[in-house]
Amino acid sequence: MSDLALEMTVNGRRVKRTVPPHQRLIDVLRDDLNLTGTKEGCGAGECGTCSVFVDGKLVKSCLMPAAKANGARIETIEGLAAPGDLTPVQKAFHKTGASQCGYCIPGMVMAATAALRANPEADLEEIKERMGGNICRCTGYTKIIEAVELARDVIAGRISADAFAEDAAVGSFIGSNVRRLDAPSKVAGRLRYAGDMVMPGMLHMQVLRSPHAHARIVSIDTSAAEVLEGVACVITAADVPGKDGFGVFVHDQPVMARGKVRYVGEAVAAVAAEDVLTARRALAQIRVVYEELPALFDAGEARKPGAPVLHDYAPDNVVKHIPIRKGDVDRGFAEADIIIEQTYQTQQVEHAYLEPEAGLAYVDHDDVVTVISPSQNITHHRHMLAKIIDRPINKVRFIMSPVGGGFGGKEDMIYQGMLALAAMKSGRPVRLVFTREESIIVTAKRHPADITYRMGLKKDGRITAISFSLLSDGGAYGLSTEGVMRKSAILSLGPYDIPNLTIDTVGVYTNNTPSGAFRTFGAMQSQFATECHLDIAAERLGLDAFEIRRINMMRDGASTHTQQVLGSVSIGRVLDVAEQASRWEHGPVGMRGPQRSDLGGDDTRAPCTLGARFRDGVGKTRQEVA
């Protein structure tokens, strides 16, 4: 192997390094130069978090072999402003609240900087177009684009730089535009996420994952991997000293597969080595013999007699069933003038936070097993890990690193246990950084749902009864399923006053990727059905869609389906504002004719067209027309 001798100018300083020939520019910047403001969100050129300037041109450093940067002038997020200072673009991001989790932000700042360098007068459409190579999952882009426009106007001198200062809070902070305390560290690329952290003597972990959805593990032979030069340790379920099992509710998931695997991507063994490449090579040396078992891929099949059983404790494959009963549904349906039945389906959704899972574990001088990770639930993780590694709680410590987007997806302790075991076994700090693919394959998804809906209504739109049944694929492990089913049941029928109802939400085990927490925690699935159903009912009864909701909405003092008495209820005001903001054309569906007056106009998005930057010509001579 012939190493590369690189000479570059990085942020104005000359740099010389010798690196392996396969390294990418991002590897040199992050690993060799410790410039971790350049993030790796996907490693495949999709997300833009790794954007840097090379000879003045913005590129994605995960797609650039390091050799291409030899002799080049590199500018990273750290080099945009002097230490302690911020550029106008960075100040604008701070001001508008453009940084939330912050993980995409260095790349966004770089793309914004490139956009304004290319055209200091870029308009809104051109800014959007020039930033099209960067993905954000928190903001919805609005605040980011707003920041770029603000920076543009300040740089052009149209607006005073005072616009970057914090707005004075008048009376109350509520309703005031308050700048985030942590934004400067994010817009400058200074904030270190778990994957950016290093410790002296740190090892790198890679994980061997199951290729099977359901299989018995006959044997695991790690001997060839253990003796590889550079490998510090190999761990499997056999290394767990205490009572194995974690989960947000039921502790049904082992740190690594124990006896059998239940989904594709489940951890089977892990290697800690001097570098990632050695760890990956060691994984290829581990021999696992599987005996495939019949697998379950459909929630409906899970409850049928004779279905494969995933967990011995749940022979019916049910993780959780939440029933709610109120009033007399038989009487309610008997009183109805019309009964509407419908089924609804929602799908699995990946959170796709820009920061892939990462963690760093070590055993400190006082034998405290310490795990640093963007865990959304560190106290619970700490308690679970103490039992798993059989140590008293005061010998287990969790440190929450900045979360580069979670949305519920980082509540599960799916890799922290492995890190702790490897740190204990090797006696050295161990870091694991998921690839984007690994993050998608392994981590929990939004619960998919099959919903059967039955609603009885009077001709005037009043709901007399609802029977609601939701079946959800919880995947291979319980994770948050119990809570999601509970929330889904409680919020299923929305802010509507229903006299008679039956609600059943059931989460079951299958051999699919586990389902877990995801924004709304189960409410989205059931309310999607409820709101669709109300629209269908309005159409059948010839009512306006807002009207049918007003007829049935809860009012101040209403009692919820779970008998909570509400002091004040705001749904009426929400409906009024939504109706006005959408310029809603009042009336039942189908009476509006072919032309609707409420489509288009202000605040609606025109269809996507590209080419904003050369709308006024590409510098070509236009054809002369007589």
Residues forming contacts to another protein in the complex (CB under 8 A) are: 1-2, 4, 20-22, 24, 43-46, 48, 51, 57-60, 62-65, 67-68, 70, 111, 114, 129-130, 132-134, 276-277, 280, 435, 437-438, 441, 608, 610-611, 613-614, 618-626
Q: How far is the CB of 276 from another protein (least distance, A)?
A: 8
For 545-569, the DSSP string reads HHHHHHHHB--TT-B-TT-PBPS--
Nearer to another protein, 48 or 514 (CB): 48
Q: Between residues 73 and 180, which has the closer beta carbon with respect to another protein? A: 73
Q: How far is the CB of 58 from another protein (least distance, A)?
A: 5
Taken in order 239, 242, 246, 252, the sign of the CA dihedral is: positive
Q: Closest separation between CB of residue 21 and another protein, Å?
A: 4
In this complex, which beta carbon is closest to another protein, that of residue 117 or of residue 555? 117
Please state, in angstroms and rounded to a whole number, the distance separating the CA atoms of residues 216 and 291.
5
What are the tokens at 458?
Answer: 């009077």
Query: Cβ distance 38 to 105 under 8 Å?
Result: no
Q: How far is the CB of 621 from another protein (least distance, A)?
A: 7
In the complex, what is the shortest distance from the CB of residue 262 to another protein, in angstroms, rounded to a whole number?
20
The stretches of 389-512 forming alpha helices (DSSP H) are: 416-426, 436-442, 481-490
Cβ atoms of 411 and 517 within 8 Å: the answer is yes
User: Please, what is the minimum distance in Å from the beta carbon of residue 458 to another protein?
Assistant: 39
Q: What is the spatial distance between Cα 147 and Cα 160, in angstroms, rounded to a whole number?
A: 14
Q: Which is nearer to another protein, 565 or 625 (CB)?
A: 625
Token match 């009692």: residue?
559
SS (H, E, C) 357-410: CEEEEEECCCCCEEEEECCCCHHHHHHHHHHHCCCCHHHEEEEECCCCCCCCCC
Tokens, residue 245: 């099992």
**Helix (H), strand (E), coil (C) string for 85-117:** CCCHHHHHHHHHCCCCCCCCHHHHHHHHHHHHH
Distance CA 473, CA 525 (A): 12
- The smaller minimum CB distance to another protein, of residues 56 and 241, is found at 56
Q: Report the nearest approach of another protein to the CB of residue 44 (Å).
A: 4
CA 427 to chain centre: 32
Q: Which amino acid is at 298?
A: D
Which C-beta is closer to another protein: that of 63 or that of 159? 63
284 or 338, CB closer to another protein? 284
Sequence-separated (6 or more) residues with CB below 8 Å from residue 137:
101, 104, 351, 352, 353, 354, 405, 407
Instruction: Tell me the residue ranges of DSSP E strands in 89-245.
Output: 203-209, 215-221, 231-235
Nearer to another protein, 67 or 314 (CB): 67
Choose between 297 and 614: whose C-beta lies nearer to another protein.
Answer: 614
Residue 101 in tokens = 């989790």
Shortest separation between residue 70's beta carbon and another protein, angstroms: 7
Shortest Å distance, C-beta 588 to another protein: 24
Least distance (Å) from another protein to the CB of residue 47? 9
Partners of residue 471 on adjacent β-strands: 450, 506
The sign of the CA dihedral 133, 139, 142, 143 is negative
Report the nearest approach of another protein to the CB of residue 60 (Å): 5
Tokens matching residue 218: 């006959």
Query: 70 or 379, CB closer to another protein?
Result: 70
Query: How many angstroms separate the CA atoms of 351 and 363, rounded?
Result: 31
Instruction: Note whether 504 and 471 are within 8 A (CB).
Output: no
Nearer to another protein, 27 or 547 (CB): 27
Of 70 and 142, the one with the shorter C-beta distance to another protein is 70
Provide the residue type at 523 as one letter.
A
Compute the half-sphere exposure of residue 291: CA atoms within 13 Å on the CB side of its CA: 5
To another protein, the closest distance from the beta carbon of 111 in angstroms equals 8
Taking the CA atoms of 485, 488, 493 and 498 in sequence, report the sign of the dihedral they define: positive
